[in-house]
Structure 1
Amino acid sequence: MKGTIHNREVFLSQVSSRLGRDVHPTKIDRPIWKHTPQDEVLKDATQDDLVEVLRTQCANIHTNMILTHSKDLRTSIKDVVNSYGGGPIVSWGDERFNDFGLTDLINEEWPQEGLDVHVWDPTKGEENIVKAEKANVGITFSDITLAESGTAVLFSDKNKGRTVSFLPATSIIIIPKSSIVPRMTQAARLIREKAKNAEHIASCINFITGPSNSADIEMILVVGVHGPIKATYVVVEDK
């Protein structure tokens, strides 16, 4: 049920008046900062440098990292799934699986081997969530990856349910090497540019830093509290 807003304009006019501002500003100028220290971090790093920064940070966040090439990605994914004990598997319905030659692995090879595989399908509604909840492995793609913090940024949409990354017991996130940026500064700019250019922006953007963990109780780190207990980043050369 929709609510009704009363006296909104009067309220906003009073607030603007007390602050000495125009009641209806037509333009807000972006401030120009004298110092921008956030731009100095890893500013001269090459893409290979960023991979190594990411690798170092993965060790700090209890996350496995594998560096592979497109031609070997299929084998790398199979090896990680096997190391996690196999299925059930749930994956995004992402076109990048086809781009990287993984579609037949998901749709044919694994099912023929007896693995239970579910690809997120918006027409199946709640069934997707049930499958994700029961899955041993969830497989997704990172849209932006922050080297400094070891964070994968996942854009959800109708074919890329957010539960795939946090309901299964383990998580595999495929990271195109070209998606790696130094830190949050660059990620925020990329998202802002999408909005500025009127591109589609995901209704939910997840920033995932390795497996779930918490140190709320006596500052003792516990991994796997409210999500995957293990995570692997598979960084793939895509250019």
Structure 2
Amino acid sequence: MKGTIHNRDNFLDQIAKQLGRERKTTLEEPKWKYNPQDEVLKGASVDELVDVLKVQCSKIHTELIMSTKSTLSEDLEKKIKEFGNGPIITWKDERFEQYGLHPLLKEKLPEEQEEVFEWNPDLGKDNIINAEQANIGIIISEITLAESGTVVLYSGPNRGRAISFLPTHSIVIVPKSTIVPRMTQAARLIREKVKNGEQVPSAINFITGPSNSADIELNLIVGVHGPVKAVYILVEDI
């Protein structure tokens, strides 16, 4: 339910008066003389960005698997078995079907007695329990930052945030088309959605590899408060 703001105009008028100027009712986007944030990896091709991502993944303790739409199901199954199989939890996302993963996730693995849960908003807190008990969480990156090896996740009713941090292992499917140089371009893409009136999720998560901490005597510890291991499977979709 939308709330009501009382005495807003009087309040803002009073602030402007105390500042000794007229109250501004419109704002103009600032135009900066220098924009160094746009110079990093400027003009890099998608393949060059993939090379940058490969190097960064080696630094953030994240395996990067190169795949295609035709081999994705096979590559995913192989990594699932390496991680010790289920329980598995995934988003309820039509892209799993588009990438040809339904035969694996909805048929083959269940037939092999592997537990595969799909996030269901109708189940409420049961989703959280399934995520806590899951060995593997499988999600899809919306935007991927080559410079930092960061995946951007849009949360929603069918895309629970818990899948990215509660299971022991995290597998992120990274469409090649989602790769951008860095945070600068990701923020711009999100801002454009807002300007265009598109629905933007209330929670947008930027995740870089497995959980880690260097708080104790500056010693890096991987797998502290989230996935112990993370894998990105980059899919050639362009």
Q: TM-score range by the shorter chain?
A: over 0.9
Report the Cα distance in structure 1 between the residues aligned to 2:72 and 2:3, rounded to whole angstroms: 51
The alignment yields a C-alpha RMSD, in angstroms, of 1.7
Report the Cα distance in structure 2 between the residues aligned to 1:6 and 1:44, rounded to whole angstroms: 49
Match of 2:135 in 1: 136
Match of 2:19 in 1: 19
Match of 2:222 in 1: 223
Match of 1:10 in 2: 10
Match of 1:173 in 2: 172
* 1:8 shift after superposition: 4.3
Q: Tell me the secondary structure at the aligned position of residue 71 of structure 2.
A: helix
Structure 2 residue 36 is the aligned partner of structure 1 residue 37:
yes
* 1:6 shift after superposition: 6.2
Report the Cα distance in structure 1 between the residues aligned to 2:133 and 2:235, rounded to whole angstroms: 28
Structure 2 residue 152 is the aligned partner of structure 1 residue 153:
yes
* 1:105 shift after superposition: 1.3
Match of 2:204 in 1: 205
What is the one-letter code of the residue matched to 1:10?
A: N
Q: Which moved more, 1:102-111 or 1:157-166?
A: 102-111
Q: Tell me the secondary structure at the aligned position of residue 71 of structure 1.
A: coil
What is the one-letter code of the residue matched to 2:141?
A: S
**1:33–1:138: structure 2 CA closer, same or farther, 3 Å change rule?**
same
Report the Cα distance in structure 2 between the residues aligned to 1:4 and 1:201, rounded to whole angstroms: 23
Give the gaps of 5 or more residues in structure 2: none
What is the one-letter code of the residue matched to 2:80?
A: V
What is the one-letter code of the residue matched to 1:117?
A: V
Q: Tell me the secondary structure at the aligned position of residue 48 of structure 1.
A: helix
* 1:220 shift after superposition: 1.0
Percent same amino acid at aligned positions? 57
**1:144–1:21: structure 2 CA closer, same or farther, 3 Å change rule?**
farther
* 1:219 shift after superposition: 1.1
What is the one-letter code of the residue matched to 2:68?
A: H
Q: Tell me the secondary structure at the aligned position of residue 70 of structure 2.
A: helix
**1:149–1:17: structure 2 CA closer, same or farther, 3 Å change rule?**
same
Q: Residues 109-150 of structure 1, C-alpha deviation per residue, up to 9 Å, x if partnerless?
A: 110011011000111111111000000000000000000000
* 1:12 shift after superposition: 2.3
* 1:16 shift after superposition: 1.8
Q: Which moved more, 1:27-36 or 1:228-237?
A: 27-36
Report the Cα distance in structure 2 between the residues aligned to 1:22 and 1:70, rounded to whole angstroms: 58
Give the gaps of 5 or more residues in structure 1: none
Q: Tell me the secondary structure at the aligned position of residue 85 of structure 2.
A: coil
What is the one-letter code of the residue matched to 2:234?
A: V
Report the Cα distance in structure 2 between the residues aligned to 1:96 and 1:198, rounded to whole angstroms: 23
Q: Tell me the secondary structure at the aligned position of residue 114 of structure 2.
A: coil
Give aligned pairs, total. 238
Structure 2 residue 55 is the aligned partner of structure 1 residue 53:
no
Report the Cα distance in structure 1 between the residues aligned to 2:231 and 2:89, rounded to whole angstroms: 15
* 1:170 shift after superposition: 0.5
Structure 2 residue 166 is the aligned partner of structure 1 residue 193:
no
Q: TM-score, normalised by structure 1?
A: 0.95
Q: Residues 181-237 of structure 1, C-alpha deviation per residue, up to 9 Å, x if partnerless?
A: 000000000000000000010111000000001111111111111100100000000
Report the Cα distance in structure 2 between the residues aligned to 1:88 and 1:114, rounded to whole angstroms: 10
Report the Cα distance in structure 1 between the residues aligned to 2:236 and 2:164, rounded to whole angstroms: 22
Q: Tell me the secondary structure at the aligned position of residue 67 of structure 1.
A: strand
* 1:14 shift after superposition: 1.8
Match of 1:95 in 2: 94
* 1:24 shift after superposition: 5.1
Q: Tell me the secondary structure at the aligned position of residue 172 of structure 1.
A: strand
Report the Cα distance in structure 2 between the residues aligned to 1:188 and 1:20, rounded to whole angstroms: 34
What is the one-letter code of the residue matched to 1:14?
A: Q
* 1:3 shift after superposition: 9.1
